[in-house]
Chain A
Amino acid sequence: MAEPLICLKALTRVFHTDEVETHAIADIHFGVPRGEYVCIAGPSGSGKTTLLSIIGLLDTPTSGTYLLDNQPVSGLSGPERARVRNERIGFVFQSFNLIGDLTVAENVELPLTYRPMSSAERQRRVAAALERVGMAHRGRHLPSQLSGGQQQRVALARAVAGEPLLLLADEPTGNLDSKNGDAVMALLRDLHRAGTTILMVTHNPEYARQAQRTIHLFDGRVVEETVHERVA
């Protein structure tokens, strides 16, 4: 087994709202080796998004340790966390989250503008990423001119343009019909084959089977792990 890219130990996240304590995730332990494709499943409210956001450095755990690439992330400042997100993590959201004022190409370029990189290099990567998701011909369109499936493909291109170590996807097919969903899943599979580590939340058991392993959450805890046979 390759060295773990993600290592979670005794991770908890407690939300306090109006005297009510919600243990969104509680005592999570697990590791994800480089290059693995992991699915996170569980009923609504079980803590999937919370877990993903902690792994994605969008949120901080209440307690526990999180080592990303053997580095503890708890000591990082806000700007440092932003830099890690920018350079090492790619996000795909259920609702695409493309920026409406920017063209498709500009959306893909966006994370690259937050790091030192020449414009030519950025253009090259944008073109490559759009090529990869089959959207090269729509670079100049605005997101509102695309269908949902096309928007999610652009979002995928944006997530991988920066060549992240880790791709996080929270119900990437949640807003898509099955045909478009299948297309997005196929793209994720391609990315995995190319070596990207993927953590994906999905409710769809069929899509879950694409991953190598599914971690089942219930009430913020890991209740079961399924290792899938390689189908391909």
Chain B
Amino acid sequence: MSALLRDLRFAARVLAKSPSYTFVAVFTLALGIGANTAIFSTVNAVLLRPLPYAQPERLVVLTETQPKFEEMSVAYLNYVDYRQQNSTFVDMGAFNDASVNITGKGEPERLKAQQFSQSVLPVLGVEPLLGRNFLAEEDRPRGPKAVILTHGFWQRRFAGDPDIVGKPITLDGAPWDVVGVMPPDFRFFGTSDVIIPIGLRADEPNYQSRGSHPGITVVGRLKPDVTIEQATADLRAVGDGLAKIHEQVQDTRARLQDMHEDLVEDLREGILLLYGAVMFVLLITAANVANLMLARAMTRQKEMRIRAALGAGRWRLVRQLLVESSLLGLVGGAMGLLVALWGVDLLAAARPQAIEVLGPIEVDAPVLAYTLAVALGTGLLFGLVPAIYASRQDLAQALKEADHRATAVGGHLRVRNLLVVVEVALALVLLVGAGLSLRGFAKLADVDPGFSPGDVLTMELSLPTTRYKTAAEVRRFWTELERRVAEIPGVVSVSASSGLPFAGASESSFLMAGEPRVIANTKMAVAYFVDAGHFETLKIPLHAGRTFTAHDTEETPLGLVIDQALADKFFPGQNPVGQQLQEGMSDKGIAEIVGVVGHVAHYGLDGPQRTQYQMYYAYRQLPAPIQARIASGMTLSVRTQGEPLGYATQVRAAVAAVDPEQPVFAVQTLEQYIADSVAPRRFTSALLSVFAALALVLAAVGLYATMAHSVAQRTHELGVRMALGAQPRHVVWLVVRQGLVLVAAGAALGLAGALALTRLMTSLLTQQVSPADPATYVGVTLLLVAIGLLATYIPAQRATRIDPMVALRQE
């Protein structure tokens, strides 16, 4: 132990004695370890940290599947039967999203609500912080209205009032009793403000129809030692039984997935990609520091030789150097932790919503342990090579070196060159990755979404059924609001709609005229319920027929506007206008196609579109109860002249003029929806670019250091060459060529690596950019060579200032 202490003290002294070397090493390590730790904290938060529920490995998510739909939400009555008839679950709970407006004390506000069955919290093994879970009689139609507040909402709206439980609050115009408050760290799928019982709505038609899947997901807790396969088989059997009784269950079956997997499956690739990227950065860092240490080991050969001559064994020398590198690693790790804390703040601020729901990204105990391990591991890694080299003192060779200048450069330099080649290769792989993802991004901007998202302001309104009871009342609200908004100077057009591209829409089934109504014939389309001005507001081009007008009302025959994709597929070579479809939304059953418009990108600018076809209803033509339900929550789209958000205040004022108690929410531009749709990709691309830039800089520093050191080592040789008449350009070229050989070797290795590895990053690439995109490869290679040239040119230029007199002087 005291020997180790002595080694440590000596190591500290050695490091303190060459502050610039130590600074560069620590700084480099801090960047490498810091970036690594920051991303690891995300890996930890998303992929490794268990979900914050009791025995989370036994939790599964249940959805339903049909031959035409891989994953769909669960019909409420099916959930009830799965829950009662299964034999493999401890229990199940159903939940979905909703929204309510809160009024009373304070601003009217639209709240994000989650509807839970009474069984959800017990299944999770979570209890409210204050108060209690719902009672059975609260989780059923016409039961007493009970609400549980989330911690954040309780703090925000009620300043953490400790006596809130038992007090009434006004939601959608009716009094509700607060029965509980959730703990601060409670998170379950999205975030919400309040939790209300799902059973209150169980008598509504779309909860009573097994053909309707009202956004319900089911969470279940498996009995001990039951596998997902066994549970799936169990529920399939239940489904077979249901199918015999209920025609609508025909080929609908349950689908189970591990809950953690369900939450992270879409995130995994991006996060692992970033983790791979920071691992590359860390390797470059280690190579850089190893390089520095090797360079120093060369200058410390004499010290090592003396130590060896004094009888120090080889292990003793290796240990001394390893202690030194570990110390360096630890100091670098400590600094890296600071970098990581800062990086984690940035990450936490920039992370997409999908990551947010998995809990905080933070430097907690596991992350700290990881950092320590990485710091020590890196220290050993970059210390080992130089340690072995420095300790392998060939005394005979050393004597010869002292005698003649003419010894070939030793293994040191080869190892150092190899390290630089590896650094360059790793940096190039990252550059290609970042380049591809950026190019994919640029190409996305060129994709025509089929409508014109610029200059459109959108906001959502949710009319409470307590105050807007009939379709006529709802309709009157929108008519009046649209009239007032249209009068605002600068407003080009305005339309209310349920469903907007990128902002979500429902899907509806249809059949061709005359086709028997069986599942095999059913086709799905994205269904938009719109007002007359929709197509003008979004600038969706009309290809044939007409769009809707104010004359399309409940009294006129149901008309449909279809998109070009539907027209091409089902009416090839015909004019669809005037033809009929069987539709599933209204009770009219038959609709006439009145117009054909262009197809719009709905699910994203590229990638698979879940549903290919699109159809538009004039919501005012729907039967009154359906119309009231759909139109009570719609989006107002306003096309403006100039910056749309500048009109928000006036549009809000128009809403208040129609109904002062009506809150608006999600006020944003249509362009923002498109930006949000690529947010996770942008997040990953941006980070990947940062790491690639970091890698490039670190590799350039490594190259520069190697070349500078090599020039210093070759001073004598270069002096001799100059004495023999070498011109400055000969000397520059000599050094630059040496650097370029390293860059070229690294680039070749890196390109091969990139070709192999970028296939793994498909989620970041668009359909327009292949993982072997030549422009990207050429571009980043040129960038790398340019930076490499710069890094070698500086030492090369310095080499020309060597005094040729060194040739005459003996050391």
Q: Please, how many angstroms separate the alpha-carbon atoms of A100 and B405 in the complex?
A: 7
Contact among A82, A83, A93 with B807 in the assembled complex (CB-CB below 8 Å): A93
Are A100 and B808 in contact, with the CB atoms below 8 A? no
Count class of interface residues, chain B: 20 to 34
* Smallest CB gap from B717: residue in A: A99
Are B405 and A96 in contact, with the CB atoms below 8 A? yes
B17 in contact (CB, < 8 A): no
* Smallest CB gap from B800: residue in A: A78
* Smallest CB gap from B804: residue in A: A58
Given contacts A82-B722, A99-B720, contact A144 B400 (CB under 8 A): yes
How far does the Cβ of A94 sit from chain B's closest Cβ, in whole Å?
Answer: 7
How far does the Cβ of A26 sit from chain B's closest Cβ, in whole Å?
Answer: 19
Q: Please, how many angstroms separate the alpha-carbon atoms of A59 and B407 in the complex?
A: 27
Given contacts A85-B724, A114-B726, contact A52 B808 (CB under 8 A): yes
Are B408 and A97 in contact, with the CB atoms below 8 A? no
Which residues of B367-402 are within 8 A (CB) of A?
400
Q: Please, how many angstroms separate the alpha-carbon atoms of A91 and B716 in the complex?
A: 15
How far does the Cβ of B408 sit from chain A's closest Cβ, in whole Å?
Answer: 5
Given contacts A58-B807, A95-B810, contact A85 B404 (CB under 8 A): no
Given contacts A52-B808, A170-B808, contact A58 B723 (CB under 8 A): yes
Are A114 and B724 in contact, with the CB atoms below 8 A? yes
Are A144 and B807 in contact, with the CB atoms below 8 A? no
Residues of B within 8 A of A47 (CB): none
B56 in contact (CB, < 8 A): no
Are B725 and A114 in contact, with the CB atoms below 8 A? yes
Residues of A within 8 A of B409 (CB): 100-101
Q: Please, how many angstroms separate the alpha-carbon atoms of A209 and B404 in the complex?
A: 28
Which residues of B710-734 are within 8 A (CB) of A?
716-717, 720-728, 730
A12 in contact (CB, < 8 A): no
User: Which of A98, A113, A114 has the most chain B CB within a 10 Å cutoff?
Assistant: A114
**Proximity bits, A60-87, B CB within 8 Å = 1, else 0:** 0000000000000000001100111111
Are A59 and B728 in contact, with the CB atoms below 8 A? no
B406 in contact (CB, < 8 A): yes
Q: Please, how many angstroms separate the alpha-carbon atoms of A110 and B807 in the complex?
A: 15
**Proximity bits, A110-131, B CB within 8 Å = 1, else 0:** 1101110000000000000000
How far does the Cβ of B787 sit from chain A's closest Cβ, in whole Å?
Answer: 27
Q: Please, how many angstroms separate the alpha-carbon atoms of A114 and B724 in the complex?
A: 9
A42 in contact (CB, < 8 A): no
**Proximity bits, A20-45, B CB within 8 Å = 1, else 0:** 00000000000000000000000000
**Proximity bits, A143-176, B CB within 8 Å = 1, else 0:** 1101010010000001000000000001000000
Residues of B within 8 A of A96 (CB): 404-406
Are B807 and A91 in contact, with the CB atoms below 8 A? yes
Given contacts A53-B805, A53-B808, A170-B808, contact A85 B725 (CB under 8 A): yes
Given contacts A53-B805, A58-B807, contact A86 B408 (CB under 8 A): no
Residues of B within 8 A of A84 (CB): 725
Residues of B within 8 A of A98 (CB): 405-406
How far does the Cβ of B222 sit from chain A's closest Cβ, in whole Å?
Answer: 69
How far does the Cβ of A188 sit from chain B's closest Cβ, in whole Å?
Answer: 18
A220 in contact (CB, < 8 A): no
Are B727 and A97 in contact, with the CB atoms below 8 A? no
Contact among A78, A91, A115, A148 with B723 in the assembled complex (CB-CB below 8 Å): A91
Given contacts A52-B808, A58-B805, contact A82 B725 (CB under 8 A): yes
Contact among B404, B725, B804 with A111 in the assembled complex (CB-CB below 8 Å): B725
Are B404 and A148 in contact, with the CB atoms below 8 A? yes
A49 in contact (CB, < 8 A): yes
Q: Please, how many angstroms separate the alpha-carbon atoms of A49 and B807 in the complex?
A: 11
* Smallest CB gap from B406: residue in A: A143
How far does the Cβ of A177 sit from chain B's closest Cβ, in whole Å?
Answer: 13
Which residues of B797-811 are within 8 A (CB) of A?
804-805, 807-810
**Proximity bits, B637-674, A CB within 8 Å = 1, else 0:** 00000000000000000000000000000000000000
Residues of A within 8 A of B403 (CB): 148
Q: Please, how many angstroms separate the alpha-carbon atoms of A158 and B721 in the complex?
A: 11
Residues of A within 8 A of B724 (CB): 85-86, 91, 110-111, 114, 158
Residues of B within 8 A of A143 (CB): 404, 406
How far does the Cβ of B382 sit from chain A's closest Cβ, in whole Å?
Answer: 27
Q: Please, how many angstroms separate the alpha-carbon atoms of A194 and B408 in the complex?
A: 34
Are B807 and A97 in contact, with the CB atoms below 8 A? yes
Q: Please, how many angstroms separate the alpha-carbon atoms of A97 and B717 in the complex?
A: 8
User: Which of B406, B717, B726, B728 has the most chain A CB within a 10 Å cutoff?
Assistant: B406
Q: Please, how many angstroms separate the alpha-carbon atoms of A115 and B724 in the complex?
A: 11
Are B725 and A86 in contact, with the CB atoms below 8 A? yes
Are A83 and B400 in contact, with the CB atoms below 8 A? no
Are A99 and B727 in contact, with the CB atoms below 8 A? no
Count class of interface residues, chain A: 35 or more
Are A144 and B407 in contact, with the CB atoms below 8 A? yes
Q: Please, how many angstroms separate the alpha-carbon atoms of A53 and B808 in the complex?
A: 8
Are A83 and B727 in contact, with the CB atoms below 8 A? yes
Contact among A87, A114, A144 with B730 in the assembled complex (CB-CB below 8 Å): A114
How far does the Cβ of B241 sit from chain A's closest Cβ, in whole Å?
Answer: 83
Residues of A within 8 A of B721 (CB): 99, 110
* Smallest CB gap from A98: residue in B: B406
Q: Please, how many angstroms separate the alpha-carbon atoms of A59 and B719 in the complex?
A: 12
**Proximity bits, B332-352, A CB within 8 Å = 1, else 0:** 000000000000000000000
Residues of B within 8 A of A56 (CB): 723
Are A95 and B727 in contact, with the CB atoms below 8 A? no
A142 in contact (CB, < 8 A): yes
Residues of B within 8 A of A142 (CB): 406, 408
Q: Please, how many angstroms separate the alpha-carbon atoms of A148 and B405 in the complex?
A: 11
Q: Please, how many angstroms separate the alpha-carbon atoms of A93 and B406 in the complex?
A: 13
Residues of A within 8 A of B406 (CB): 96, 98-100, 142-144, 146, 151
How far does the Cβ of B34 sit from chain A's closest Cβ, in whole Å?
Answer: 39
* Smallest CB gap from B722: residue in A: A82
Q: Please, how many angstroms separate the alpha-carbon atoms of A82 and B810 in the complex?
A: 21
Residues of A within 8 A of B810 (CB): 94-95
Which residues of B4-38 are within 8 A (CB) of A?
none
Are B408 and A100 in contact, with the CB atoms below 8 A? yes
Q: Please, how many angstroms separate the alpha-carbon atoms of A87 and B730 in the complex?
A: 15
Are B405 and A97 in contact, with the CB atoms below 8 A? yes
* Smallest CB gap from A142: residue in B: B408
How far does the Cβ of B95 sit from chain A's closest Cβ, in whole Å?
Answer: 73
Contact among B405, B725, B728 with A87 in the assembled complex (CB-CB below 8 Å): B725
Q: Please, how many angstroms separate the alpha-carbon atoms of A49 and B724 in the complex?
A: 16
How far does the Cβ of B735 sit from chain A's closest Cβ, in whole Å?
Answer: 14
Are B725 and A95 in contact, with the CB atoms below 8 A? no
How far does the Cβ of A117 sit from chain B's closest Cβ, in whole Å?
Answer: 12
How far does the Cβ of A215 sit from chain B's closest Cβ, in whole Å?
Answer: 18
Which residues of B122-162 are within 8 A (CB) of A?
none
Residues of A within 8 A of B404 (CB): 95-96, 143-144, 148, 151
Residues of B within 8 A of A79 (CB): 727-728
How far does the Cβ of B798 sit from chain A's closest Cβ, in whole Å?
Answer: 15
Are B725 and A100 in contact, with the CB atoms below 8 A? no
Q: Please, how many angstroms separate the alpha-carbon atoms of A52 and B804 in the complex?
A: 13
User: Which of A93, A97, A100, A146 has the most chain B CB within a 10 Å cutoff?
Assistant: A97
A and B contact pairs by CB, cutoff 8 A, 15 listed: A58-B805, A58-B808, A79-B727, A82-B727, A83-B727, A96-B405, A96-B406, A100-B406, A101-B408, A114-B725, A114-B726, A115-B725, A144-B400, A144-B408, A158-B724
**Contacts A100-B409, A114-B727, A144-B407 known; 5 new A-B pairs at CB < 8 A:** A58-B723, A79-B728, A85-B725, A97-B716, A100-B405
Counting from the closest, the 7 A-B pairs by CB-CB distance are A86-B725, A143-B406, A111-B724, A85-B725, A97-B720, A100-B406, A100-B408
